[in-house]
Structure 1
Amino acid sequence: MLRKSSKPSRTLMVNKRMLMDVRKLQMGSYKVHMNGDRLDDFYVWFDGPKESPYEGGRWKVHVQLPENYPYRSPSIGFTSRIFHPNIDEASGSVCLDVINQTWSPMYGLNNIFDIFLPQLMLYPNPADPLNGTAAALMLKDQQAYAKRVKEHMRQHGTLLLEADDDADTDDADASELSDVSSAYSSDSD
């Protein structure tokens, strides 16, 4: 006779972890836009950290969670243009070791937006660039680099004042945020 296992399936645990991590982002200071009913595909508005050249900026970051999250790292990319040595200006790809190589299931989405990305903004690594122009300028002249970052933010509408206006009209389907808790709650919780 086969007995029903008392252990929850790995898929159910992974989905609960996705839900928990997305909820934590939403309960924090982040504006999160769900891509339809999908829990694994959404956008987060990320503000530049204080005391960095990126202070006063806001960027839209696309997040895709793999099926076996948190055992595999999320894919993140800036959809708003940004001038940074470790972020490809055209594709938005991010060169961040902790996401690309040393990810651990102990990390969550809050780690990315509360720690990893702010640290990348505060301490760019020009020795491992995705944007060679930004890296070269940063190495050559820190003040010119900071000035270029601010000009780039003004040019591409990522300053907070401008971003607040643009966020409302960014995408027609982004006008209302999805409520992930109602879309993914179940009676078995």
Structure 2
Amino acid sequence: MENVFPKFAKSVFKEIRAILDDEIDGVSLELNEQDLTDLKASIIGPRDTPFENGLFIIRLILPTNYPTEPPKGFFLTKIFHPNVNPRTGEICIDTLKKEWNPVLGLRHILLSIRCLLIVPNPESALNEEAGRLLLEDYDEYTRQARIFTSVHALGPAATPKIPTSYPQDSTILRDSNGHPEKSTSLNKKKTLSVTKKTMKRL
């Protein structure tokens, strides 16, 4: 935390707290008070898509002049998707590039990435094969995407500490042993308590 400007840290904490207070359906943001420039979140694959019920871990790297400059987004979970680089996991989405606006924030970014799983954009493909199949052979595209989901985002390949599905009214919090806890009001208070204590140190 010493290398992060207090103004930046307080701004990011405020956004994280807002997300914890008003959860995003199918999305869970992890709080890493040790490094606010490196955030992780989990996304449950939306229904009626080739990614359904898969657990996808993403990484957001925030520049220290955020929100003036947008974060960089990466899928840590392997995924067959036109807008995800198959080698690096980099996410190509207009929200993080030409359409970025400092007022958008983390909530909008997470929602946009989840929406990308529902509506891919073959015109800005980082995975050329996935982009081509999406346009020319949708059945084969969905088949390959489901295979990737099954192998990398379901079962043992997925992060075992986070369940592959959870109710709409829950989010991923960790207990002292690193196991997931259901998001109760008590757990929220514990998380926000950590947030407040960290902010006092800034």
Please state which band the TM-score falls in when normalised by the shorter chain: 0.7 to 0.9
1:49 matched to which residue of 2? 46
2:91 matched to which residue of 1? 94
Residues 71-110 of structure 1 aligned to structure 2 (within 5 Å): 71-110=68-107
- Quick check: 40-49 or 23-32, which moved more? 23-32
1:136 matched to which residue of 2? 132
Query: How far apart, CA to CA, are the structure 2 residues paired with 1:70 and 1:165?
Result: 32
2:19 maps to 1:22: no
8 Å contact kept, 1:44–1:60 = yes
Cα deviations by residue, 1:38-75 (Å, 9 ceiling, x for unpaired): 12212111122223222211111111111111111111
Q: Normalized against structure 2, the TM-score is what?
A: 0.72
2:198 matched to which residue of 1? 184
The structure with the largest alpha-carbon Rg is 1
C-alpha distance 186-101 of structure 1, shift in aligned 2 (>3 A):
same
CA shift, 1:126, in A, is: 1.3
C-alpha distance 61-104 of structure 1, shift in aligned 2 (>3 A):
same
1:119 matched to which residue of 2? 115
Residues 52-71 of structure 1 aligned to structure 2 (within 5 Å): 52-71=49-68
Identity of matched residues, %: 26
CA shift, 1:13, in A, is: 4.0
CA shift, 1:160, in A, is: 7.1
1:6 matched to which residue of 2? none
Q: Which runs of 5+ in 2 are unaligned?
A: 164-176, 181-189
SS of the residue 1:185 aligns to: helix
Q: Normalized against structure 1, the TM-score is what?
A: 0.77
Instruction: Tell me how large the CA RMSD over aligned residues is.
Output: 2.8
1:145 matched to which residue of 2? 141
SS of the residue 2:63 aligns to: coil
Aligned residue identity for 1:184: T
CA shift, 1:12, in A, is: 4.4
